[in-house]
Structure 1
Amino acid sequence: IQPLADPAIAAVEQGQIRIIPEEWSNNYLGWMRGIKDWCISRQIWWGHRIPAWYCATCHPEAHVILEGGGSHLIPSQAEPVVAETMPDDCATCERSQFIQDPDVLDTWFSSALWPFSTLGWPARTKELETYYPTSTLVTGLDILFFWVARMIMMGLKFTGKPPFRDVYIHALVRDAEGEKMSKSKGNVIDPLTKMSQYGTDALRFTLASMASPGRDIKLSENRIEGYRNFANKIWNAARFILMHADGPSEVRPIADRPFVDQWILSRLNRVTATVTARLEEYRFDQAAGQLYQHIWHEYCDWYLELIKPALQNEDSPAARSTRATMLQTFEHLQRLLHPFMPFLTEEIWQTIPHQGDSLVRQPFPVATNEWENVEAEQTFTVIEQVVTTVRTGRALLDYAPAKSLTILATAKDPDELARLTEARDHVAQLCRGTVTLADQETWPAGRILHLTVGSFMVGLTIEGEVDLNKALTRINKQAQAKQKEAARLQGRLGSPDFAAKASPEVVQESKDRLDLLTAELSLFTNSEQQLRKMVS
């Protein structure tokens, strides 16, 4: 079999075939370099019968007997005649009495022919010309040698071409503790049950989001439930959009659209480029993560909240532009999310303005420089930082969510201050209050909680209804919880075992979370010091 193996080794070494994750290439090459001759016959009932025939006249000792429910050929020195059908006559005795070998071909031998035999080979059919070779094979590590390697050998031997360009090795799905599922352990997760309970797309998105290369999936019900909630979030966003879809809309040049429109188009464009790149790299987990973060946080939590004032007067120029952008971006998102949640997105897509009969037939979104707007993204970052800080202060002081706040704000950096000035109305809307921009030295004397984030200083007026002692208790309680979490993260990041085994993405996620906790703890410490001075 070595003459078949050598071209298959070269195909991977020279890059004709790419195995993903790349580390599995070493497994493949190790097997192929140490390959042994392959006995392709099997003594079983089912399979492709070996097309070998023996002349019963020349070799009367060669005959088939039944034994124990099976059959086998009595050993003989007869040379077989290989033919698809029984030969007409024997070349030696010219008789036509033949016995076919009762063995069948090894399952993997038959399967190795599958990529081209199903397309009409050896005939040069239209199907063979169109679909062979294919682009990608998705399979498991356990059959990399049994099936994949043999398809490569057979494809190169009989067609001169490798059967596929990429081989994607998917993970094994284990239970939440990382144990292999088995009936005896009672830890089997029935996908049909979970699909019925949480929705097919929720399970599909769960598996995609956990498909980190080279790592098994620890499937927990909590993750599936979390992505069911994600599907509900998208559905509720669709309901909101449909409520405001009726009415005049106007597609303006992007430069003439409101800031919020320019920002969401720029962010959606960036996400489109990232998701596309991750899919091309077979990083389905990262692509799913990008979509989750953008849709849940940026689109639903921020964008849909920011456009509510503009939609109140449905005939205004702002409402017309906002409505057009809202529908444009939401339709774009359905196409971007469709490979991960095809049922949900098709259902939603059919209810919003669209072109074509089915979402699955639409082109996948493509990023465009026309939508890119770095300045709009920087301005939104200002909004996010200031609003998040004000909301933290509101919670610390236990102000009711509907209470209007008196907010003071400024920035050390002139460019940041200019962006804050531009975004002041949006900050006031999301914070539910009034925003006064003034140098910190000019802020009025009295009970004001000073909060710092980046270049920004935010002041919240502390009114008489605030119980400072209770506020201090809340700060201490939250700080203790965050300190414990920060300590766990520090221990994890300091562990050589974690650094060696965790993916770079998980390590970075832990670092980012620790940075956030550190900033929050600094804010809590500063706030506690201010409140204690006020109490004393």
Structure 2
Amino acid sequence: MSEEFEMAKVYDPKDVEGKWYSYWEEKGFFHAEVDESKPAFSIVMPPPNVTGALHLGHAIDATIQDVLTRYKRMQGFNTLWLPGTDHAGIATQAKVEEQLRKEGTNKDELGREKFLERVWDWKEQYGGRITKQLRHLGASCDWSRERFTMDEGCSKAVREVFVDLYKKGLIYRGNYIVNWCPHCHTTISDIEVEHTDREGHLWHLKYPVKDSDEFLVVATTRPETMLGDTGVAVHPDDERYAHLVGKTIVLPIVNREIPIFADDYVDREFGTGAVKVTPAHDPNDFEMGHRHHLEEIRVMDKEARMNENAGKYQGMDRDEARKAIVKELDELGVLVKVETLQHAVGECYRCSTVIEPMVSQQWFVKMEPLTKPAMEVVQDSRLEFVPDRFSKIYLGWLENIRDWCISRQLWWGHRIPVWYCEDCGAEICEKDDPTVCPKCGSTHLHQDPDVLDTWFSSGLWPFSTMGWPEPTPELKQFYPTSVLVTGRDIIFFWVARMIFTALEFMKEVPFPKVMIHGLVLDAQGRKMSKSLGNGVDPIEVIEQYGADTLRFMLITGNTPGNDLRFHPERLEATRNFANKIWNASRFVLLNLEDYQDGPRGELQLSDRWILSRYEATVNDVTDALDRFDLGDAGRVLYEFIWNEFCDWYIELAKARLYDKEHPEARHTVQSILFEVIEGTMRLLHPFMPFLTEEIWHNLPVQGESIMIQSWPETSGYRVENVEQQMVLIMDVIKAIRNIRAEMNVQPGKKAEIILVAPESENRNVLALGQGNILHLAGGSKVDIVAELEAKPSQAASAVLAGVEVYLPLRGLLDLDKEIARVEKEIAQAQQELARFEGKLGNSGFIAKAPEQVVAKEREKLEATKSRISALQIRLQELQEA
């Protein structure tokens, strides 16, 4: 063993992780050069917000990507994991505006140019936080290729795409209903609106039918928008209102005549079955308004204050106006009744302000021509979701998609590349900034003030990051990427947009597989949030437990696509696993000091068994990783390392390791220990990179790093018959250990063991494992027979499949004392049973105690009954012995 890498007695991640990450980066092991002689594997990192800090969602996402990247790198692929960050328009601008407020100024005082300089300064100062934290996690990204959605290359790609879509007529400007955030002062997309259940009211208002004594009662949750009503809708099959269709009502307060019309959208069962229609302030009303050619009257401004169309309510905010309008409606006798109800209210995903739907002039992408091919690639399996159930969610969203509003009323972002001629009104969209109007020759041009939705640029991520629109060598080798790893919450935000833009501009899918993982929830199944105070900082977890512990816990916590509940105790269990690996490795290394490579001697059953199990583990882990079932791969490794290698083979090997009279047997065991632990560390490396690198460098190996070693391959060791044989030996050992424990036999006392196996095949197997049984079951001798002439006296027994186990107790314990001890234990247990029965038989206790307390007492009762039954069986065995 090298003194330089001598292993400490206790594993401390702090001594290991920083050291190895720096080493990997300095050696350039993460970097990928174009090399067409190798097959390519590439992943683009879902770009976290430049404003962000690492949270558990990032941690699980990055860990999955890192496991796949390290795995493919070891398989010999030319592997690129391309990192980057997103400019996060709304969030970043909000951060800088907050900073300006503290300085006593604002963006308008600075002006657009100076404000953007401040944002770039902020980005340079604070924008690298999350990428530094990803390094703590062990992310093996090619940091030399790190990209930013507003760097020069990505910006060029954005301009190229916008101009191309504009010239194809797929980008247009028009009045459309949008989600307006009165706090952020920008539009946000439908999928960025979070719906929260709130208690609200349903106001029933009666609108007078013109030239009639009739009233049409409508129900609304937003009476303040009635000032913008331009129609009332009923269902075409609703007989209650059939005679009113085609007539008009007189809108109270405003005294505007509006039509009554029929539309299938109306739910006859909700409210009164008649719906007030405000096309300028409700997306569904907007669609009905288009179908029936209704006027769009906006009654609020961008601050969500009532505007000039609201008459005397102008200047009030919407909540204030609601109270005043309801009061006037009541005074006019129009308010029929008010109901309380729970309903979903749309909120801005950034600031939680209630969204105001309103008609506004914005830029849109026509979705129908783009979504058709994006659906077809999933329907014909050119692109597959893992798990497959997410393909239905994806297709369902695309089937119902509306045109995408891509303009945002911000300064930070990709500015819309459209100019307007102030003299002739021409609209100019070109790849290069125009200086002269192509229609009239005027130089009086001004650019559209809006910027593009952040998702517009990140939708180009798989190819813009590799140099598109230039035909770069990287694009040729690494596009399409191999797999996308992302959370289930951004299928619509990001995944769908990457797919349809890639199909439009690259003419092929951006990735053949989309691996979806769930969200990380708290132990109670709630989303983590600041308001609940249930968030977990991954960096704090890493500092306390180490990155490998966090990584392995996240990976093995659930099945593909499902949410993961974060239980702190699982971190303790995973740290114990890391310590188990460390201690086992130290044991092996201490026994390899005199090891020299060379031919092995004769293999025992246990040797052939561990080699077979190791090869099965190689196969199963490889298969699970190829299926993207990382949790299953981690489970297989855990069970092999802990249960089979540590708990069984190392213990089985000790007798020969310590046998100085038979050096050949010692060398054979050393050889197998080395082969299995070295190969297992390579299998485990993608999951626990730091721990495995440290252990591997202490082994008698050659090479710069475990991460650039080859992935383990099969060697023909797998023999299922050998595994079955060893299972029989292990079952016998476990049965004897259980008998000794139950009978209270002192560990140091050796016992005679009698094994009755009627089948010769089982007797042969037991003979092969005889030494193992003696060593691990505390045996003085083992007799293997086909049948017994008589049952051994004073013996405890166990019956297994194909084998009966007898352990004569004479000399191992004082039978009379043991009988007395067990009888005393039974008596005590029966007293406990009587106490539980009395408690549960008390009707007062049952009536008053909480349900969970009663349930706990019943569990104790059943456990005590089981214990008494087991003790009585043991007493009978002792009495018969």
The aligned runs of 1:179-190 (5 Å cut-off) are 179-190=526-537
Query: How far is the alpha carbon of 1:119 from its aligned partner?
Result: 1.1
Query: Where does the alignment leave 5 or more consecutive residues of structure 1 unmatched?
Result: 60-77, 482-519
| Matched AA of 1:215 | N
Larger CA deviation: 359-368 vs 340-349: 359-368
| Matched AA of 1:306 | L
More strand by share: 2
User: Which secondary structure state, in structure 1, belongs to the residue aligned with residue 797 of structure 2?
Assistant: strand
Query: How far is the alpha carbon of 1:183 from its aligned partner?
Result: 2.6
Distance 1:145 1:120, change over 3 A: same
Deviations 1:266-291 (A, max 9, x none): 00000111111111112122111111
Q: Matches of 1:287 and 1:473 in 2, distance apart?
A: 48
Query: How far is the alpha carbon of 1:295 from its aligned partner?
Result: 0.4
Q: Check whether the contact 1:258–1:318 (CA below 8 A) recurs between aligned residues.
A: no
Deviations 1:44-85 (A, max 9, x none): 1211111111122323xxxxxxxxxxxxxxxxxx4x211233
Query: How far is the alpha carbon of 1:532 from its aligned partner?
Result: 4.3
The aligned runs of 1:46-125 (5 Å cut-off) are 46-59=412-425, 78=426, 80-125=427-472
Deviations 1:406-456 (A, max 9, x none): 211121332112101111111111112121223452467421112112211
- Normalising by structure 1, we get a TM-score of 0.83
User: Which secondary structure state, in structure 2, belongs to the residue aligned with residue 275 of structure 1?
Assistant: helix
Q: Check whether the contact 2:485–2:515 (CA below 8 A) recurs between aligned residues.
A: yes
Which residue pairs with 1:318 in the alignment?
665
Deviations 1:84-131 (A, max 9, x none): 332242222223332111111111111101111111111100111111
The aligned runs of 1:287-302 (5 Å cut-off) are 287-302=633-648
Q: What value does the CA root-mean-square deviation take over the aligned residues? A: 2.5
Deviations 1:438-477 (A, max 9, x none): 3452467421112112211111121343412434677999
User: Which secondary structure state, in structure 1, belongs to the residue aligned with residue 512 of structure 2?
Assistant: strand
Query: How far is the alpha carbon of 1:211 from its aligned partner?
Result: 2.9
More helix by share: 1
Q: Check whether the contact 1:211–1:284 (CA below 8 A) recurs between aligned residues.
A: no
User: Which secondary structure state, in structure 2, belongs to the residue aligned with residue 45 of structure 1?
Assistant: coil
Distance 1:522 1:25, change over 3 A: farther
Which residue pairs with 1:37 in the alignment?
403
Q: Matches of 1:522 and 1:210 in 2, distance apart?
A: 37
Q: Matches of 2:637 and 2:825 in 1, distance apart?
A: 34
Structure 1 stretches of 4+ moved >4 Å: 471-479, 520-528
Alignment counterpart, residue 394 of structure 2, candidates 28, 52, 61: 28
| Matched AA of 1:396 | E
Q: Matches of 2:603 and 2:825 in 1, distance apart?
A: 43
Which residue pairs with 2:714 in the alignment?
367
Q: Check whether the contact 2:757–2:785 (CA below 8 A) recurs between aligned residues.
A: no
Query: How far is the alpha carbon of 1:202 from its aligned partner?
Result: 1.1
Structure showing greater relative contact order (alpha-carbon pairs closer than 8 Å, 6 or more residues apart): 2
Which residue pairs with 2:769 in the alignment?
423
Alignment counterpart, residue 563 of structure 2, candidates 216, 220, 229: 216
Q: Check whether the contact 1:86–1:98 (CA below 8 A) recurs between aligned residues.
A: no
The aligned runs of 1:249-328 (5 Å cut-off) are 249-252=596-599, 256-313=602-659, 316-328=663-675
Q: Matches of 2:769 and 2:399 in 1, distance apart?
A: 64
Q: Check whether the contact 2:600–2:671 (CA below 8 A) recurs between aligned residues.
A: no
- Normalising by structure 2, we get a TM-score of 0.52
Q: Check whether the contact 2:488–2:516 (CA below 8 A) recurs between aligned residues.
A: yes
Which residue pairs with 1:412 in the alignment?
758
Residue 150 (1) aligns with residue 497 (2) = yes
Q: Check whether the contact 1:12–1:18 (CA below 8 A) recurs between aligned residues.
A: yes
User: Which secondary structure state, in structure 2, belongs to the residue aligned with residue 350 of structure 1?
Assistant: helix
Deviations 1:461-496 (A, max 9, x none): 2134341243467799999x9xxxxxxxxxxxxxxx
Larger CA deviation: 168-177 vs 154-163: 168-177
User: Which secondary structure state, in structure 2, belongs to the residue aligned with residue 290 of structure 1?
Assistant: helix
How many pairs are equivalent?
Answer: 474
Which residue pairs with 1:244 in the alignment?
591
Q: Matches of 2:699 and 2:580 in 1, distance apart?
A: 17
Q: Check whether the contact 2:750–2:778 (CA below 8 A) recurs between aligned residues.
A: yes
Residue 139 (1) aligns with residue 486 (2) = yes
Q: Check whether the contact 2:435–2:445 (CA below 8 A) recurs between aligned residues.
A: no
Which residue pairs with 2:259 in the alignment?
none
User: Which secondary structure state, in structure 2, belongs to the residue aligned with residue 138 of structure 1?
Assistant: strand
Which residue pairs with 2:549 in the alignment?
202
| Matched AA of 1:15 | S
Q: Matches of 2:598 and 2:872 in 1, distance apart?
A: 49
Q: Matches of 1:450 and 1:261 in 2, distance apart?
A: 29
Deviations 1:264-322 (A, max 9, x none): 11000001111111111121221111111110010001000111111124571111121
Larger CA deviation: 370-379 vs 391-400: 370-379
| Matched AA of 2:412 | W
User: Which secondary structure state, in structure 1, belongs to the residue aligned with residue 483 of structure 2?
Assistant: strand
Residue 465 (1) aligns with residue 814 (2) = yes
Which residue pairs with 1:16 in the alignment?
382
Query: How far is the alpha carbon of 1:401 from its aligned partner?
Result: 2.0
Query: How far is the alpha carbon of 1:525 from its aligned partner?
Result: 7.4
Distance 1:395 1:46, change over 3 A: same
Larger CA deviation: 188-197 vs 332-341: 188-197
| Matched AA of 1:174 | L
Q: Matches of 1:109 and 1:136 in 2, distance apart?
A: 21
Q: Matches of 1:455 and 1:30 in 2, distance apart?
A: 56
Q: Check whether the contact 1:440–1:457 (CA below 8 A) recurs between aligned residues.
A: no
Q: Check whether the contact 1:211–1:283 (CA below 8 A) recurs between aligned residues.
A: no
| Matched AA of 1:359 | I
Q: Check whether the contact 1:408–1:443 (CA below 8 A) recurs between aligned residues.
A: no
Q: Matches of 1:465 and 1:348 in 2, distance apart?
A: 48
Q: Percent identity?
A: 40
Query: How far is the alpha carbon of 1:405 from its aligned partner?
Result: 1.6
Residue 380 (1) aligns with residue 746 (2) = no
Q: Check whether the contact 1:306–1:426 (CA below 8 A) recurs between aligned residues.
A: yes
Q: Check whether the contact 2:758–2:786 (CA below 8 A) recurs between aligned residues.
A: no
Q: Matches of 2:570 and 2:654 in 1, distance apart?
A: 31
Q: Check whether the contact 2:591–2:657 (CA below 8 A) recurs between aligned residues.
A: yes
Which residue pairs with 1:163 in the alignment?
510
